[in-house]
């Protein structure tokens, strides 16, 4: 596996592959790889001639009071995992490579509407930080397809819209959320939880499942359902940012007959967890 640390070297390699007519699958990450990331690499295999992954903890998508400095960085073991998953190239840029002029005056990519609620409301600037870095990475890697986890549901839908709106010739493929045995969605932030919190965290999955079961059983009182689920989480000690049922694509409140997704974000101590379930 090639390990590339700067844009110039990356672009030279990409050019060489393109000249040979080889297609590229891309899995962008912030490192600290877990089974969720690795399942995306597995999904990417055999879908293109070359598999590229990036590891970059993107400062632009962290708020001033968020965990940029403490975000887990495990480069050595990540590279080993990438290699074991038949990654051809690991792009490992520094902040200087991607933001040589800093962040203040950089052009931002803002995807309207879909980013105005949920994560957009509770983490101002976060989704714009994601769309901006993802477009920058797409321009550097020039993938034919790129893979994102459904765990970050709004992120996936936003990127899909950006690619569509800007006519980027990239297929966006979504991988299912990978869960621990008790249902907790895998996330690098789970390791911030202490033992009691870790046990409590599985209630997010329980409540999502309960809401989805209720909808399947014909319950259409969406507001009542999400209020009850949210209250249950509060009783377990969570501070809930949102628990809501949305149209799967627009993430607006649904009209009758819309395909649905249930989305939740909640704090447990200092850790913010998000999860969702399609109905
Ligand atoms: O989902 C992530 O890990 C990040 O948001 C991404 C897509 C790599 C952009 O920094």
Mutate to test the pocket of ligand 1, among 28, 66, 172 (most ligand atoms within 8 A of CB): 28
CA 235 – ligand 1 centroid, Å: 31
CA angle 8, 12, 18 (to 5 degrees): 140
Known active-site residue 216: no
76 vs 87: CA distance, rounded Å = 15
Closest CA to 40 of 56, 51, 24: 51
Residue 267's pLDDT is: 98
**Active-site entry in 5, 34, 37, 216:** 37
The residue whose CA is least distant from atom 2 of ligand 1 is: 29
Nearest atom, ligand 1, residue 28 CA: 8
> What's the Cα-to-Cα distance from 155 to each of 104, 118, 175, 192, 223, rounded to whole Å?
23, 11, 13, 22, 24
Mutate to test the pocket of ligand 1, among 31, 154, 155 (most ligand atoms within 8 A of CB): 155
Residue 127's pLDDT is: 98
Residue 69's pLDDT is: 94
The residue whose CA is least distant from atom 6 of ligand 1 is: 29
User: Cβ distance 186 to 151 under 8 Å?
Assistant: yes
User: Cβ distance 277 to 208 under 8 Å?
Assistant: yes
Residue 229's pLDDT is: 98
Identify the CATH class of 188-278: alpha beta
pLDDT tens digits along 66-95? 999 999 999 999 999 999 999 999 999 999
Residue 195's pLDDT is: 97
Residue 126 has what DSSP assignment?
H
Residue 120's pLDDT is: 97
92 vs 56: CA distance, rounded Å = 6
Classify residue 91 as exposed, middle or buried by CB count within 10 Å of its CB (0-12, 13-18, 19+).
Answer: buried
Which residues in the chain come in under a pLDDT of 70? none
* Ligand 1 touching residue 36 (CB < 6 A): no
Domain spans, the chain = 2-175, 188-278
pTM: 0.97
36 vs 115: CA distance, rounded Å = 23
Residue 226's pLDDT is: 98
Identify the CATH class of 2-175: alpha beta
CA angle 83, 88, 91 (to 5 degrees): 90
């Amino acid at each position: 596996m090639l390990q590339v640390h700067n844009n110039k070297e990356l672009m030279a390699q990409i050019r060489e592959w393109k000249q040979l007519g080889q297609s590229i699958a891309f899995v962008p990450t912030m490192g600290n790889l877990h089974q969720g990331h690795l399942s995306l690499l597995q999904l990417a295999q055999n879908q293109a001639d070359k598999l590229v992954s990036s590891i970059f903890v993107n400062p632009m998508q962290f708020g001033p009071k968020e965990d940029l400095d403490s975000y887990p960085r495990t480069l050595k073991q990540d590279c080993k995992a990438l290699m074991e998953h038949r990654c051809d190239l690991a792009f490992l840029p520094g902040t200087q490579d991607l933001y040589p002029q800093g962040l203040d005056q950089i052009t931002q990519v803002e995807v309207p509407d879909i980013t105005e609620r949920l994560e957009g409301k509770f983490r101002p600037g976060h989704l714009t930080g994601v769309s901006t870095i993802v477009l920058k990475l797409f321009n550097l890697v020039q993938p034919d397809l790129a893979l994102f986890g459904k765990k970050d549901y709004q992120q996936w839908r936003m990127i899909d819209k950006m690619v569509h709106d800007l006519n980027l010739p990239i297929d966006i493929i979504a991988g299912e959320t990978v869960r621990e045995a008790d249902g907790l969605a895998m996330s690098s932030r789970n390791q911030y939880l202490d033992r009691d919190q870790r046990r409590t965290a599985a209630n997010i999955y329980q409540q999502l499942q309960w809401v989805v079961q209720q909808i399947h059983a014909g319950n259409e009182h969406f507001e009542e359902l999400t209020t009850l689920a949210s209250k249950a989480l509060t009783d377990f000690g969570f501070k809930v940012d949102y628990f809501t049922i949305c149209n799967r694509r627009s993430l607006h409140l649904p009209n009758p007959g819309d395909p649905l997704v249930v989305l939740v974000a909640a704090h447990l101590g200092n850790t913010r967890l998000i999860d969702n379930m399609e109905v």
